[in-house]
């Protein structure tokens, strides 16, 4: 299958607060480099660079003033004399009376973020925008490819970095800024797909994707993830979140216990895939986080590298055109193997 990437991801290399100090983020540039190296070494298929896309594709999913904020945040931050990464330190939690966007950049940072996990540096916007370009280019390539014969399970791979699934309509968080999977799903709808599904297999619940499609029936969101009672993002991802309004019944969360291994994972995966097929899905977007790996430094499932081959096979069995969008995965030595195993398993 085709892999789409962008070298512009190197422009983003943020910090994170860990163990009481500021450290380089787990979400590092070598993540995408190691996945691309593995794609090339594995003979998965051709590799192409992303094509620049119109801004309207971003604001079709995200609030325009949030996109404006992302684009201008670094300039506003440096105008106050600072050159290190911009991070929020105050948030509009329940009960506080001011609910509109503040004027000062330090207030805006909290207004447009769920946590301090999405630092903004000099190159962040260029990398973030290129990451969305990667998803859209890979989606277009999939939709433009000849339908062929057989099961219909054709795929393309968007090697996005930074990831996207924690980014909601109007906030960043968890290493994410623009929701690449949601932006691609929305373009599929614009291009005529009547029913789309997003299957999120990242260890962490995709709260951003859920937020974006929560009141819509045309895009089903299904997610397997660590139970938010004990796992980030803590404030979303419970099974009782099933959608609202027209979208009631079109959001399916499958929280799983700390330490879940493949044997416990696979029946739930198959249930999510049954739900996706019952939706009448015409195009599947997979938010492909490989932080479900047993060696992941910030996650708590126990999938092994060979399990990712089975993961790809199970997804292929749904028989749908499938766009894989890279999300998390932080054990840099293994994420190339685990991501490419998923894609090789899908290809059969």
Sign of the dihedral through C-alpha 205, 65, 244, 325: negative
Which of 133, 202, 227, 296 is in the footprint of Zn ion by CB under 5 A? Answer: 202
- Site residues for ligand Q9C, 104-143, by CB under 6 A, read 117
Question: Shortest distance, CB of residue 202 to Zn ion, whole angstroms?
Answer: 4
Interatomic CA distance for residues 242 and 226, integer angstroms: 17
- Site residues for ligand Q9C, 157-176, by CB under 6 A, read 163, 165-166, 174-176
Per-residue DSSP letter, 245: G
Kindly state whether residue 289 participates in binding ligand Q9C, applying the rule CB under 6 A.
yes
User: Taking CB within 5 to 8 Å according to partner kind, which of Zn ion, ligand Q9C, none is near residue 108?
Assistant: none
- Site residues for ligand Q9C, 217-246, by CB under 6 A, read 232
Question: By C-beta, is 57 or 181 nearer to ligand Q9C?
Answer: 181
Question: Shortest distance, CB of residue 229 to Zn ion, whole angstroms?
Answer: 17
Which of 243, 328, 336, 345 is in the footprint of Zn ion by CB under 5 A? Answer: 328
Alpha helices in the chain (DSSP H): 29-42, 56-59, 64-78, 105-111, 124-144, 180-190, 207-213, 262-278, 305-316, 332-347
Q: Catalytic site residue 279?
A: no
Cα torsion through 317, 266, 262, 300, rounded to 10 = 110
Kindly state whether residue 204 participates in binding Zn ion, applying the rule CB under 5 A.
yes
Q: What residues have CB less than 8 Å from 172, skipping those under 6 apart?
A: 70, 112, 113, 114, 118, 166
At 172 the three-state DSSP class reads strand
| Enzyme catalytic residues | 166
Residues that bind Zn ion (CB under 5 A): 202-204, 289, 291, 328
Residues that bind ligand Q9C (CB under 6 A): 117, 163, 165-166, 174-176, 202, 204, 232, 289, 291, 298, 327-328
């Amino acid at each position: 299958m085709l892999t789409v990437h962008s070298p512009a991801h190197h422009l983003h290399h943020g910090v994170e607060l860990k163990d009481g100090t500021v450290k380089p983020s787990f979400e590092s540039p070598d993540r995408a480099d190691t996945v691309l190296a593995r794609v090339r070494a594995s003979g998965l298929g051709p590799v192409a660079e992303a094509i620049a896309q119109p801004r309207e594709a971003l604001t079709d999913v995200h609030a325009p003033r949030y996109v404006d904020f992302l684009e201008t945040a670094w300039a506003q931050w440096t105008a106050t004399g600072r050159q290190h990464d911009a991070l929020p330190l105050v948030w509009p939690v329940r009960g506080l009376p001011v609910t509109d966007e503040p004027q000062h950049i330090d207030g805006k940072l909290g207004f447009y973020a769920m946590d301090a996990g999405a630092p903004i540096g000099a190159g962040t916007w260029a990398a973030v925008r290129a990451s969305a370009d990667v998803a859209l280019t890979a989606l277009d390539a999939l939709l433009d490819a000849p339908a062929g014969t057989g099961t219909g399970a054709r795929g393309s791979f968007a090697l996005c970095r930074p990831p996207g699934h924690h980014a909601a309509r109007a906030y960043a968080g968890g290493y994410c800024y623009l929701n690449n999977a949601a932006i691609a799903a929305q373009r599929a709808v614009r291009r005529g797909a009547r029913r789309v599904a997003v299957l999120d297999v990242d260890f962490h619940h995709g709260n951003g994707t859920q937020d974006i499609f929560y009141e819509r029936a045309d895009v089903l969101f299904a997610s397997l993830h660590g139970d938010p009672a004990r796992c980030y993002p803590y404030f979303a991802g419970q099974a009782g979140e099933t959608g609202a309004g027209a979208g009631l019944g079109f959001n399916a969360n499958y929280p799983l216990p700390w330490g879940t291994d493949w044997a416990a994972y696979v029946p739930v995966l198959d249930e999510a895939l049954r739900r996706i097929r019952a939706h009448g899905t015409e195009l599947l977007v997979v938010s492909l986080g490989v932080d479900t790996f047993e060696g992941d430094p910030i996650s708590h499932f126990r999938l092994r590298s060979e399990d990712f081959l089975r993961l790809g096979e199970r997804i292929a069995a749904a028989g749908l055109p499938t766009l894989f969008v890279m999300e998390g995965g932080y054990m840099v030595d293994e994420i190339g193997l685990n991501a490419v195993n998923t894609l090789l398993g899908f290809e059969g």
